[in-house]
Homo-oligomer: A and B are copies of this chain.
Amino acid sequence: MSIFKNSSLSFIGLLAILMIVTVDVVAQEPEAERPAPRRPSFQRGPRIISPEIHPDNTVTFRLLAPNATRVTVSGEWMAGFGASEDLVKSDTGLWSLTIGPLQPEFYGYSFNVDGVQVLDPVNALIKRDGTRNASILFVPGKESDLYTVQNVPHGTLSKVWYESPTLNMTRRMYVYTPPGYENGDKNYPVFYLFHGAGGDEDAWTTLGLAPRILDNLIARGLAKPMIVVMTNGNPFIPAAPGEAPVLPPAEPTAAGPGNMGSGLFEESLVKDVVPFIEKHYRVIANTDNRAIAGLSMGGMQTQNITNNNPDMFSYIGIMSMGLMTRRDLGMDDSTQDFGGKLEALKKSGVKLYWIGCGKEDFLYASVQTLLDTLDQHDFTYTYRESTGGHTWANWRIYLSELAPLLFK
């Protein structure tokens, strides 16, 4: 007896309908009767694969656009902002281009179709950098090995809300706890890691790939197991776009775009974030087990925090940021008595003052000023000069090199 007395659809039929809304279906039917693979309505016809990564790391992009006059692709492997390459149209209206070989890396790219930016419609993976999105091209290999999810123990990544009395709001941050945290009773050192201007608390995960890098470094014994705290560094914004009540954009003030010169985020980090972490997580709550680093705006925040709290962090990292002054903004000058503050830091026994910058970074000159100033004070630091500029490619490399130096 069939219980399907009221049902007009077979189970396979139902499953097929269930699947068609999102994935390919290859029906189990005799060859002659097998239908063409079904695609969502906006993408009928043969299945298009894009990007296709070939064994030699050349990459083929494809876009079906029969009515387009010109299709280009722009990607992070290209030199120069706004660079692009033309795709070539086939008889069927399929545009394609093979480039490379590319160095293994986690790239963003997008198409431009007759003047309109188009994310690759057959590529599910997208990354957001501030207000802009790009399709993801991950080229596997030695150089991007740390950026892949590998078959190693994984830490837990949590989106955590905390009260910030300093900023008078509830704010969101990411906390990475290392593999084994949940299973043990060990206490861990903590690494506070800051994004740059225009970014938010998502950035070090979605663009910086910090959880994967830490998982892989820890698995290889190259970094100590540690907690990593990734905050939102915009003092008047509680969380990433779409993840917080919509507030009116902060008016430009004397503290500069995003109020980044206000010092308020720095104050909240010290008064709100560190105490929250040290209360809620199993941490080793002392100077030698606190590290702090940031890129660009986050590098300025790192300097401000460590200059004003010389006894708090033993490990300090500055990525793509030099010596800055807030004098022009009418604020307390972050370089005010910089020398005196350096001396205090020196006296506090900082174990690592690490600076990374790319040769083509537009802040390169200010980084050299920072190095000169440190030299004048016989302040010990580690300087890592890379190729390239003000890019996540560099910041992922800096994290990969800095994390192994912490807490050792």
- Contact surface of A with B, Cβ cutoff 8 Å: 3-12, 14-19, 21-23, 25-26, 28, 40-43, 63-69, 81-82, 112-119, 121-122, 124-126, 128-133, 136, 138, 148-151, 153-154, 156-161, 170, 172, 182-183, 196-199, 239, 241-245, 252, 256-258, 260-261, 280, 296-297, 322-329, 335, 338, 362-363, 365-366, 368-369, 372-373, 390
Contacts and interface: CB of A to CB of B under 8 A. Distances in A.
Given A158-B158, A257-B23, A115 B10 contact: no
Central interface residue in A133, A280, A338, by most chain B CB within 10 Å:
A133
A390 B156 CA distance: 33
Chain A binding surface SS class: loop
A67 B66 contact: no
A218 B247 CA distance: 24
Contacts of A156: 158-161
Contacts of A124: 128, 130-133, 241-242
Contact of A130 (B23, B116, B136): B23
A75 B324 CA distance: 47
A41 B112 contact: no
This protein's copies in its complex: 2
Contacts of A7: 322-323, 365-366, 369
Contacts of A18: 196-198, 257, 296-297
A297 to B, nearest CB: 6
B297 A197 contact: no
B198 A12 contact: no
A148 B3 contact: no
A3 B117 contact: no
A325 B11 contact: yes
29 contacts: A5-B369, A6-B368, A11-B261, A11-B328, A12-B329, A14-B324, A14-B363, A18-B297, A19-B198, A19-B257, A21-B390, A23-B130, A25-B257, A26-B252, A43-B117, A65-B115, A68-B116, A113-B116, A117-B121, A119-B119, A124-B132, A124-B241, A125-B242, A126-B128, A149-B239, A149-B243, A151-B170, A151-B245, A154-B170
B198 A116 contact: no
Nearest to A110: B42
Contact of A245 (B41, B149, B153): B149
B116 A64 contact: yes
Contacts of A328: 10-12
A320 to B, nearest CB: 10
Given A3-B373, A67-B115, A158-B158, 4 more contacts: A12-B329, A18-B196, A67-B69, A119-B133
Contacts of A42: 82, 112, 117
A93 to B, nearest CB: 8
A191 B257 CA distance: 44
A158 B157 contact: yes
A260 to B, nearest CB: 7
B161 A154 contact: yes
Contacts of A159: 156-158
Nearest to A6: B369
Contact of A241 (B125, B128, B197, B390): B125
3 tightest A-B CB contacts, nearest first: A22-B198, A22-B130, A154-B161
Contact of A4 (B10, B25, B151, B325): B325
Contacts of A63: 116
A258 B114 contact: no
A324 B154 contact: no
Contacts of A390: 21
A68 B114 contact: yes
